Amino acid sequence: MSHFLPETDAVLTAARGLALAHPGMIEVNSSPLYLRARDADPARTVALVSGGGSGHEPLHTGLLGRGGLDAVCPGEIFASPHNRQIYEASAAAAKSGGVLHIVKNYTGDVINFQIAAERLRHDGIPVATVLVDDDLATDSADSATGRRGTAATVVVEKLLGAAADRGATLEELTDLGRRVAARSRSIAVAARAQTSPTTVHPAFELDENTLDYGVGIHGERGIRTIARPATGDLVRRMTDDLLDALPDGPDDVLALVNGLGATTELELNAIAVLLNDELTARGLRPVLVVPGTFTAALDMAGFSLTLTRLEEGWADLWTTPTRTPLVLPRPAEGAVGVESLESPTRTPARTPASAPSETGDRTLLDRYALTVTQVRDNLTKLDQLVGDGDFGDNLAGGVRRAVKLADETGMDGTAALADAFLNDVGGTSGPLFGLLFQHLAAASPADGSAPSAAALAEAAEAGHAAIHRVGGAVPGDCTLVDALAPAAESLVAARDADAPEAPLTEAAQAAIRGALATASLRPRRGRASYVGDHALGVPDPGALAVALLFMALADIHEPATAPRLPAPGHITVL
């Protein structure tokens, strides 16, 4: 774990970077540091000012501009801004109707905003405060501090920004902000703490397969550490806790799925669907489901869920356009729900084969499935060293699809492998394996008996040729071809020999030698070619998968000689 912050003036430099990225929108005052919107809506009579420790971006600064905030006061990382920053930012942004402070409930933030408010009142500037305190993990009767302010701050700032641009008064905005905060609750979980900029190490350690439940956005530990459940179960638990804590009110809700810094958009979008389903199942109406990173904790790996019960008109405030660095998701005009967007799954018509046989191709599928399951993690680890780490899962997923297809349709095993890998497995290697399986399926006798050496030689040669035509790989490129080519050559030699003893065992041995030899090759094709010399010493996972396939064929059809072959786990570890 690491960070790429400048050694000095990191927060000021980042503020200047935001202004640089949005010319004409933001001005930066360096001493004391605050950012101010340069293009306020002329209908606005009250300035909205917020701020807090840095490291939560795009919180606060992302909503600077029309439809959002007038000024933002960033503190140092995870530290509250000084009252002078807040005072001078508020004085510079103040409008005829005064200033509204939007404050997350942390002691340092509260004290410094209160001092700034006292100074503004002394100057005759009307000022009021909205305190955001949505974190249910800190909802305790024993605490005098109260709940922390977290991701619901985004909801408060967005709704208030839209209302301010409609000319709402200080009193109206204060009342609205306090109602939104009161109707909002959040809960967060983390699988990994954020990197401390001071130590460049995780702020706290978590055991493998555990989560901290109820973490704070400054890296505070959760209220408990739990065994990591399935994601759907985790979302269900979080939803239950949120609804137990959420005050009674309308069934219309806004649901915010917030990344804590290192959680991908792919994950957040998937979690949003799970949350939508949980809310709908409970009879609520998730009018707005908003996934994204809005309130980060540097690079913490985790997410939070926020629910806000929507009063009449609040959804309209959320969907009002803004001119801010952060563009919040909102429904397009005429938008439809998730169910309406999903197309019915079309299953291509398949002609079932005769019932699967006890031996032959179905046996190959089952044997290969068992082998791949045993070595999937090994193949993944190898691919992490030379590629993107997905090979083991892709191979195992394709085999599982083939097993399911054979079970459901009666299709013979090798044909099911060809169908699954050609039609359903993405990436580079999936369709290439599909071509190989397609030719091997053609070599399988209809009665389920063992394929002849001549038929297998022809199939291996044809598969090799097809893969070369599509991908261009040749032996020496450090790909699956480095195992397939010698196996095909061995089978051709056995076909041309008189009564070969064990053609499949010998082909498997040739494939194993070819696969292991890729460890000494510098890859010239595929993703491994991008890592250069880092791939040296690591055998190609695709080549090993080909070797495992021929080993499975030998196990089935040559049980007397196949024991000469090494165990699958032996050849797939460094």
How far, in Å, CA of 179 to CA of 188, rounded?
22
Residues near 538 by beta carbon (within 8 Å), at least 6 away in sequence: 382, 385, 386, 519, 574
Nearest to 51 by CA among 27, 31, 71, 73: 73
Residues near 397 by beta carbon (within 8 Å), at least 6 away in sequence: 425
Nearest to 459 by CA among 443, 446, 470, 471: 443
How far, in Å, CA of 549 to CA of 568, rounded?
10
- On whether the CB atoms of residues 33 and 73 are closer than 8 A, the answer is yes
Q: Select which of 82, 218, 464, 557 is catalytic.
A: 218
Alpha helices per DSSP H over 424-540: 429-442, 453-471, 481-496, 503-517
Q: Taking the C-alpha atoms of 249, 251, 254 and 259 in order, what is their torsion angle to the nearest 10 degrees?
A: 90
Nearest to 276 by CA among 337, 185, 209: 337
> Burial level of 567, CB count in 10 A (0-12/13-18/19+)?
exposed
Is residue 244 classed as helix, strand or coil in its secondary structure?
A: helix
- On whether the CB atoms of residues 45 and 309 are closer than 8 A, the answer is no
Nearest to 134 by CA among 113, 117, 154, 148: 148
- On whether the CB atoms of residues 44 and 164 are closer than 8 A, the answer is yes
Residues near 525 by beta carbon (within 8 Å), at least 6 away in sequence: 471, 472, 473, 477, 478, 479
- On whether the CB atoms of residues 124 and 97 are closer than 8 A, the answer is no
> Burial level of 29, CB count in 10 A (0-12/13-18/19+)?
middle
User: DSSP secondary structure string, 267-326?
Assistant: HHHHHHHHHHHHHHHTT-EEEEEEEE-SS--TTBEEEEEEEEEPPTTHHHHHHS--BSSS
Parallel, antiparallel, or unpaired for β 99-104 and 127-132?
A: parallel
Task: Respond yes or no: is residue 218 known to be catalytic.
Answer: yes
Q: Which residues pair with 54 in a beta bridge?
A: 77
Active-site residue list: 218
